[in-house]
Structure 1
Amino acid sequence: MKICFLTGPQNSKRCGITDYVNLLRVVLENYGHDVSNICLSGSKTFKKVITNLPEADIFSFQFAPYAFSPNGMLGVDLINLGKVLRKNKTHLNFHEVWIGAYKGASLYEKFMGWRQKREILEFVKVLNPSVITSTNSAALDRLQKEGINATYLYLFGNIPFIETDVSTNSDIFKVAFFGTLYDKFPYDLLGKRLCEIYAIYGSKIEFRIIGLQRESLGFKKLRKVASCYNFSIAETGELSSTKVAKEINDCKIGVSTTPYDAIGKSGASAAMLEHGLPILAFDDEDTPKDQLFVINEFIGQIFLINDPFESNKLLHFISQERKPFFDGVAYTAKNMVRMVS
């Protein structure tokens, strides 16, 4: 099968949609598929594709509003692309949808979200995709409320399996933070939950900031919690994927500051889960509970800090042998081929 991906511009400085496609491409080519990727980086590239669309059995458009435009709006270029693509078999994968559809959104976010939603809904109507998918519960809920029949497609991590030993050191309880530290995450509540763990486990708690982490309000809040509860904190700086894998294996638990309903769009959270690490997360209640889910492979591996917290259950999970590595890239490649075939 000849598969053509359409993404935003390549950005080698951060883990993004093009990195996701590059990893997926390798596995799909190993399965015998002919795979290409077109990076759309502005109006000129949109017009070039519109006037000279390559041949393919399936076009897979990897969509996130801000991947293509600083304000999340593409205008006529998006609609014109939809008109050309609709003559072909298409797969539309939403990594993100419109902003502002959550409690506490500012007036600006609500206004821009309203504009983005109008554009996205028009694009879906024009494109008439063969298959529509999304990577997370929040986006699926928003799409389904607008009458768009979308299904789930897992977004994998970008840290491959490396043969390293899982730490058995019981003197330090290492907590992994890998990925963006979001400002709105309840860091104070996290501190309280970790104190509950400390009261049972008895080992010194150390925050491990894995990878390059930019200065942010979330980072400042995390430092404050570490200071308040006398937790140590260590930053690794930028690391190779091999060293990231080793860091993850050296930790007891991980923390995802991405809201639970959107955790599916976080490649960093996926990487920790794929390496068998239990994850602490937070449900901001923006999405109805009956719409929340994780794939079967990760059931019982994510612990919500705002639920009646079960420290003993988490520690029992940690005491067991680490789960084997889950190959998320192969899992997604197989599911995508099944959906679009």
Structure 2
Amino acid sequence: MIKIVFLCGCLEPGKNGVGDYVISLADGLIQNKVPVAILALNDHYVKEITSQVINKGKSEINTLRINHSLDSKRRKKIAKEWIAKLDPEWLSLQFVPYSFNKKGIPVFLGNMLKNIGTGRKWHIMLHEIWLGEARSDPFKRKLIGLLQKYLTRNMILAIKPANIFTSNKFYQDSLNKVGIKAQIVPIFSNIPMHAKAFAHLLPEKILQERSDYLIATFFGNMVFSEEVTDQVFKLRQLVELEGKKLILTHIGKNGQAVEYLKYWNARFGIETYCLGEFSEEEISAYMQKIDLGLSTYPKILLEKSGSIAAMCSNGLPVLLLRKSFVKDNRKFDWIEELDEISGLSEFMLNARPLESHVGINSAIDQYLSSFHSKEEKLAL
């Protein structure tokens, strides 16, 4: 009998952060002798209902992917029949509002989950909660957030989960304000450290004169703003004070990163390279051989970022180019806001990023503890 079925929106490997998270998590649990399957309820990468085995590590993971174009009644029927056939003890919802509705308002999700999970124990990982928690958020964002908050709370009341996880303290505090108790389980790295030789992704002249350059990279999603642009300029100045030239790169799924890097090149004369998508091994090798990781995540949400976790686990110190919307006084020896460091060389010299900060093993242990709990209590 399947012990756990994970439910998420999309399950296209390498194209969806939550999907990649669930696949890695399933592999880790299978290695711990826990039978697992995955159900994608709103998948935009398949055109029809797709049953497939996904290989990850040493594991073969049974999955069902339901295309997003099906109406909710049909999706509910298919999901319920598949779950009943597997007969799992636990259902684990990996929740992001926009995974289940393109506007982030999954009105019917709570009723669907209640119906397909009748008689089974529920667990939820809230990867994201609702908009509008920052004081600076505009009225429209706060209005959408109020509706998302209402729907999230009603969904939790509908399925009555035994355990609720979220990734960071800010989300935990926001949930606690509406009476939802959640345990913090930081997002682990989807790019484990590999020992592969350095991939030559940059021009030969840079590699030959390596000591003349400081190579910094973004990985994955970025937020573009004038604040971030100002921080990029400040970083260039700090690098020049070290007697070096700044090379700014982006690796992974780039979205609009090409335009951002071109803009900074034209405005500040910074040499930039948008490298594109590569295998886990190549990304890991690249990160291990460059100097600095960059992120536009606010510090208060750093545990939510898989890209920050990946840079940390591959030995990169990380600078944040965006002020936190809520003051965060925590001190780390591997990540900091650019404006908070006393000097670039001092920060990089003392940085101690380790895989243990953001590794998958801690998350696996917390999931195992949750699913093996003898005393399950409603978290609301």
Q: Same fold (TM over 0.5)?
A: yes
Distance in 1 separating the partners of 2:141 and 2:155: 20
Q: Which moved more, 1:158-167 or 1:13-22?
A: 158-167
What does residue range 175-190 of structure 1 map to in structure 2 within 5 Å?
A: 175-184=216-225, 186-190=228-232
Verify the 8 A CA contact 2:296 2:322 in the aligned structure 1.
Answer: no
Following superposition, the deviation at residue 115 of structure 1 comes to 0.9
Structure-1 separation of matches of 2:115 and 2:77: 12
Residue number in structure 1 paired with 2:79: 49
Contact 1:257 1:281 in 2 (8 A): yes
CA distance in 1, matches of 2:175, 2:114: 18
1:340 maps to amino acid: F
Normalised to the residue count of structure 1, the TM-score between the two structures is: 0.86
Q: Aligned letter for 1:11?
A: E
| Contact 1:174/1:250 (<8 A) preserved | no
Q: How does 1:321-340 map to 2 (within 5 A)?
A: 325-326=355-356, 328-340=359-371
Aligned with residue 299 of structure 2, among 243, 254, 260: 260
Q: CA deviation at 1:154?
A: 2.0
Counterpart contact for 2:317–2:353, Cα < 8 Å: no
Q: What are the Cα deviations for residues 249-268 of structure 1, in whole angstroms up to 9, with x where unaligned?
A: 12101001122222222212
Alignment coverage as a number of residue pairs: 329
| Residue 230 (structure 1) shift | 3.1
Distance 1:9 1:71 in 2: 15
Deviation at 1:220, TM superposition (A): 4.1
**Alignment gaps of 5+ in structure 1:** none
- Give a deviation string over 1:74-123, Cα, whole Å, max 9, x none: 22342342366474322110010111222432332222111111110111
Of the three residues 318, 323, 337, the one matched with 1:304 is: 337
Distance in 2 of aligned mates of 1:310 and 1:46? 55
Q: Per-residue CA shift, 1:94-153, capped at 9, x if unaligned?
A: 010111222432332222111111110111122221111111333223212222111111
> Aligned equivalents of 1:151 and 1:73: distance in 2?
24
Indicate conservation of the 8 Å contact 1:79/1:122, yes or no: no
User: 1:175-207, CA deviations, whole angstroms, 9 ceiling, x for partnerless residues?
Assistant: 0111112124522123213422430x2121101
Q: Which runs of 5+ in 2 are unaligned?
A: 43-67, 199-206, 373-380
- Which residue, out of 101, 112, 115, partners 2:144? 112
Q: Distance in 1 between matches of 2:82 and 2:305?
A: 34
- Between the two proteins, what is the percent identity of the paired residues? 24
Q: CA RMSD in A?
A: 2.7
User: Using a 3 Å threshold, how does the CA distance of structure 1 residues 324 and 311 change in structure 2: closer, same or farther?
Assistant: closer
Q: Does the 8 Å contact 2:123/2:161 carry over to 1?
A: yes
Shift of 1:50: 4.4
The AA in structure 1 aligned to 2:15 is R
1:1-341 equivalent positions in 2, closer than 5 A: 2-12=3-13, 14-41=15-42, 42=68, 43=72, 44-50=74-80, 53-54=83-84, 55-82=87-114, 85=117, 87-164=119-196, 169-184=210-225, 186-199=228-241, 201-215=242-256, 220-282=259-321, 284-289=323-328, 299-307=332-340, 309-317=342-350, 325-326=355-356, 328-341=359-372
SS at match of 2:102: coil
Q: Is 1:255–1:281's contact at 8 Å kept on the other side of the alignment? A: yes
| SS of equivalent to 2:156 | helix
CA distance in 1 between partners of 2:322 and 2:275 (Å) = 28
Which structure carries more relative contact order (alpha carbon 8 Å, separation 6+)? 1
Cα 1:84–1:238 change in 2 (3 A) is closer
Letter aligned with residue 317 of structure 1: N
1:221 Cα deviation after fit: 4.6
